[in-house]
Structure formats: C-alpha cells, structure tokens
Homo-oligomer: A and B are copies of this chain.
Amino acid sequence: MNTEIALRDILSFHVGGSLVELTDQPIQTVQVSPNAAARSVDLNGHYVNGQLYAQHFRLAAPKSDVPVLFWHGGAMTGVTWETTPDNRPGWSSIFLRSGYDVVVSDAVERGRSSWSPWPQIYDSAPLYRTLEDAWHLFRMGPKNGFAASPANRRAFDKQRFPIESFDQLCAQFVPRWTTNADLSVAAYQKLVDRFEKVIIVAHSQGGWFAQRVASLMPERVQAVVLVEPAGAPAMNESALAAASRVPHLYLWGDYCDDHAAWIPYKSDALAQVERLQALGGTAESIDLPKQGIFGNSHMPMMDNNSAEIADIILGWLARHAAPVTASGSTHAAE
C-alpha cells in the first residue's frame, strides 16, 4: 500500500543554454494550422540552444537537505524514472516516499529540453532507436528473439523486465544526437549549480555524464549512483583525484555478456572503481547476478524487482552519502 506524498511544491524550469542566431535562411510558406491559411515562416532569428528541463518535487517534510537528481540514458527522457511501463511506482516516487526531494530532468536535446535545427545549429543528424535495437541492447532476450508481434517474442528465461510492456517502454524513446556531449555536460553542471549539494542517480549514457560532472564539481555532489553506465569517462590525474572525493556506486544487471556494447562499458567502469579506490575513494560495484539476483535487464528501475533495487541504492546512500539532516542552511554532509 502506497503512502501519500505530501509536497511543499512542484517546480519546473529550464537551465543552461544560450541564444544562437540563424541568418540567411530562405523564407518558407507553410500551413501551420489545419484549417487556417498558409503563412510565411522565417527561420532567421534567435533560438535558445542547449537548455535542459527539470521538474523538482519538494516534500513538505524532507528527511534530507540533499535532493536526488535522476539522469536518464540515451534515447530516453526523465520518464525513465516515473511510473514503470506496467504501472508500478517508479524510483522518483519511491525516493520521494523515502524522504528525498527529487529532481527529474530531460537531457539536452531530449524530451522537454527541446532540440535545435540541424544542420543549421546542431552539426549532425539525429539517431533513432528501433524496437529491435532496444530488445538486444537493453537485454530483453536473444537478438533473434524479437518479433513485431508480442506473442512471438522470446525473452530470456529469468527476464525481470515486464516484457508484455516492452512496447510501452519503446513509446518512451526519443531521437538523439551523438555530438552534443559538451552541451549536455554544461547544462547538467548548471542544474547541479541550482542546489547546494546533490545526489545523482544516473542510468546508462546519463551515468557517463554523471561521472564527468562529479569529477568537475566534487564539492557539490554528495554521491553518485551509476545504474548500468555507458562506461567511464577518460580522466586525467586531477579529474580522477576530484572524482575520488565523491562516493561512487555502480550497479549491473544480468546478461551483460549478451550484447557487445556492455562488455567494454562494464570493464571500463570496473577499472574506474579500482582507480577511485586506489586514491582512497569510496567506490563500489554491485553485480546483481553475483549476489544471487538474476534476470535484471538494462532497465532495473522498471524490472519486477525495481523496488528491491531501489532499496539497495537507498541503503548504500544511507551508509555513504552522509547522515541526512532536517532542512536549514547547514549541512552535515561532506
């Protein structure tokens, strides 16, 4: 039975980005409303580029001063963290009910963060994720187990993703670009900068961004949780030293050897854990199958044991992200 969520308020905002001007574009004549006359459209002018959308839930009585920022993966949006595709409460609700203020954002170019014209502003074309691609990359089943008809799909035997809701997951996909990493990191830094301290829980590509931002702003990031991150960013000695000041938890599901992408991503992250530990940092990698928890996909926040995985993270945060204190301007954290 879910308890109610008492909120002080629900805020949303865009952070980051800057004005870009387009010039010398041809004037178009376009039908912009189904039964209105066509009108001229002038692409010349100013656009906001590189902004990031976030929705901030503030509890009436948070147990912690430090909000949890949820950062999604590639071709996804903040919807990742909301209700699961089979209608169970997502981690955003679970963390709210655990007493954390929560910030769910969309990465630059995704969802409500918007995207900019190309080739005029972005310098490459977008990529789109097919159901076939997701079936294999997200480790739902063997690559040849996908079929358009749900009845004909073959998932892994112990699969914990609610496989009958796979199309609901795929309805969440958004196009992505591969050339906006710097814009994205800059906007994420602006997001972190809205708060005194943050905890970041990040998934997949978002985990890459989170590790990067933790190393750039170690005094602001109380802890970082990397859920199946897309590897680890290359870091020089000083970036690594900075990162080692931030507790890192890495978490992996099952079947990681089934898709060629996950083998190097996982080994890069494990090597990063060793580097952080060698510098005296707190860094841990949890391999769920090695703990006897089998069948998790790339989407543990949606799998049928998503609440248990959340508990693992909440427990780790309680141990490693400093004692949480009632609100005020002082922070026990550090």
Contacts and interface: CB of A to CB of B under 8 A. Distances in A.
A208 B5 contact: no
A159 interface: no
Interface string A1-42: 010111111111110010101100000001111111001011
Contact of A111 (B31, B39, B41, B111): B111
Say whether chain A's binding surface is mostly helix, strand, loop, or mixed: mixed
A8 B89 CA distance: 11
A305 interface: no
A324 B100 CA distance: 34
Interface residues of A, number: 83
B112 A112 contact: yes
A74 interface: yes
A304 interface: no
B264 A45 contact: no
A32 B73 CA distance: 12
Contacts of A7: 4-7
Interface of A: 2, 4-14, 17, 19, 21-22, 30-36, 39, 41-48, 51, 53, 55, 57, 60, 74, 77-79, 82-83, 87, 89-90, 92-93, 96, 106, 111-112, 114-117, 126-128, 130-133, 148, 167-168, 170-175, 178, 181, 205, 208, 230-231, 233-234, 261, 264-265
